[in-house]
Chain A
Amino acid sequence: MTKIKKPLLSALSIVLFFIIALASNPSKKTFKNSSSWIPKDFNPNKTILLVEKFAISGRAEQNMEDYMNQKYPYKFEFVDIQTIKNKEGKYADTKLYRYALVISSHTSTMTKAQGAVTSGGLTTTGFDFNFYDRDLNKSYPPTRRPSSYASTTFKPVINTIVKHFE
């Protein structure tokens, strides 16, 4: 009995810890700061939300589109950033296509600590999202909850928007 006690406890611990990790995954997350980045005039029932395509990764882009189809109950379209900014053709109607969810990325560097033996630092790119008002050419603040993968931020952003209008 004692021989299997430790391996059993180890296996149970791993299962328990991975349940904790799964419980905190981005598909269930929402951001509580929605009032700081969702425009007050945004009404998903009255407008079609344009979402910027994630040009860097086709896989992530597909992941984001799948997530929108699955979770976002309002109308939306994925378009490139030029289409959002140019307001031409079908998308010239800035009342119907007033708001766009655009990607904002920035780079941060973890610099070398004083006295550290190794040189250099760890540089990561954080992907965030912000609303863009095509009618007023106005950018709203980003969520300020970036991650190194666009879809990691995208999922809680969409969850938050959906929750906001429930």
Chain B
Amino acid sequence: MISLSKTTDIFLNVVIPVFLGCIFYFLKNEITVPEMIQNYLPDGLWAYALQSCILIIWNRKINIIWSIAIMLFAVIFELLQYLHFINGTGDFFDIIIYFIFFGIALSANKFFISNIYFKLTSYDKD
């Protein structure tokens, strides 16, 4: 079983996905990848990192209220774009991608808890 501190967990599941998303966002004009990946992967990585961040804050215990809250915020975010209250254009497929990657983060949570031992010095015991 692998031992993982909270800092490493944050780095692995929050910092790296956000960093990769940013790199992908800034380099997408320079690299050739399938259009679907080009358009949606940064959004997916963003959603994965956000869900992971919430999970890590709550010591990898699924907090239903906050998990639903971020999903609602994601829908509201796209809706506000669609209604032109904020810049951007609401995209229905963005919402699908958010939910897929929220799901991946929640599934990965199960994996992290059952396969990777979190150091109790870094994670609360409650």
Interface residues of chain A, those whose CB is within 8 Å of chain B, are 6-7, 9-10, 13-14, 17-18, 20-22, 24-28, 31-33, 60, 63, 108, 110, 122, 124, 126, 144-149, 151-152, 155
Contacts and interface: CB of A to CB of B under 8 A. Distances in A.
Contact of B89 (A13, A14, A26, A146): A26
20 contacts: A7-B66, A13-B50, A17-B49, A17-B50, A18-B73, A18-B77, A20-B18, A21-B46, A21-B77, A24-B42, A25-B86, A27-B88, A32-B29, A32-B30, A63-B84, A122-B96, A148-B93, A149-B90, A149-B91, A152-B91
**Among A13, A60, A152, which residue has the most Cβ atoms of chain B within 10 A?**
A13
A28 B92 contact: no
The interface size bin for chain B is 20 to 34
Contacts of B63: 10
A17 B92 contact: no
Given A148-B39, A149-B91, 14 more contacts: A7-B66, A9-B57, A10-B54, A10-B58, A14-B50, A17-B49, A18-B73, A18-B77, A21-B77, A22-B87, A32-B30, A33-B29, A144-B35, A147-B89
A13 B91 contact: no
A24 B39 CA distance: 12
A18 B87 CA distance: 12
Contacts of B38: 145
Contacts of A124: 36, 93
Interface of B: 18, 25, 28-30, 35-36, 38-39, 42, 46, 49-50, 53-54, 57-58, 63, 66, 69-70, 73, 77, 81, 84, 86-93, 96
